[in-house]
Structure 1
Amino acid sequence: MQKAALAVGVVFLLVGVLGFIPGITSGSLGLAGHESEALLLGLFQVSVLHNIVHLLFGVAGILMARSHPQAKNFLLYGGVVYLILWIYGLLIGHDTAANFVPVNNADNWLHLVLGIGMIAMSLLLSRGTTRAASTRP
C-alpha cells in the first residue's frame, strides 16, 4: 500500500514538474482557465494552476506513504477526487469560465482511469492486511 501511494505521489510530482518544461509542454502556458493553450505531451491541457495541483498532490502522496492508513486514505480519497474531477470535466463547457483548472477530453478520460485505478489499489492492496491484523492475538 505504502509503495503504491509513494509511486503515485512520485508520478504526480513528475507530471507537475514536466508541465513547466517547454518542449514537453507545448503552447502558451496560462496561469489558469481554459485560455491556457499549453498541452502536456501534446495531449493534456495544463496551466500553472493545473501543474501546481499536480505538484501538491504528489507531495501529499509522498508524505502520506509513510504509514499504511495514510497511504490507503491517499489512494482511496484521491481516487474519489479524480472521479469527481472526471464528472466535473464532463459536465462543464471546456470553453467556459467554469473550466478554471483547465481540462480537456484527454484529461477527463485520464481522470476516470486514475480515479478507478487509485480506488482499486486502495481496496485490493488492503485485502490481506485486514485479515492478517484481525488474526493476531
Structure 2
Amino acid sequence: MQIRIDDLSGPDIAEFLEEHIRDMKAVSPPESKHALDLEGLRKPEITFWTVWDGNTLVGCGALKELDAKHMEIKSMRVAKDYKQQGIGSMLLQHMLDQAATRGYQRLSLETGSMPFFEPARSLYAKFGFVACAPFASYQEDANSVFMTKAL
C-alpha cells in the first residue's frame, strides 16, 4: 500500500469521490451533508491523500487547515472491497503524523450519527478522538457527531 498526496486531477479519484458523495446523500439529509466534492477539496488549505494498492485506488482522506493550530479531517473513505483490512487505520495514522509534524495541536472531524457511520466513529475513538461541540462553522445537528483529538 502506498499513500501519496493527490492533486485530484485523475479520473480514478473523481469517480471514487462521486461514489462517496452518493453514499453521503443516501444516508444523510441535505442539510446534514458536509462531504466536499472535487472543487471543494481543491483549496490551498486542504491537503488530500490517496491510498493505492498497486494501480488500484483503495482509499482517500484530507486535512483542512482551520487555523494555525487546528485541522479538520475531511472526506476519509476506504473502498468497499478493502474495508476491514487496516487501510483506514493506516491512513488515519498518516494524517495524524502529518498534522503533528506540521505543528498543529488539534485535529477535529464531523461524521454522521446514523448506523452507517458507526465503523468510522469506532475507528476515530480507537485513535483517541472524543466527542466535542461543533467547531468552525458547524452547527449542532442531530445527524452529526463531532470529535476532536489533541496532538
Same fold (TM over 0.5): no
Structure with the larger RCO, 1 or 2 (CA within 8 Å, 6+ apart) = 1
- Determine which structure has the larger helix proportion and give its number: 1
**Higher Cα Rg: structure 1 or 2?**
1
Q: Which has the higher strand share?
A: 2
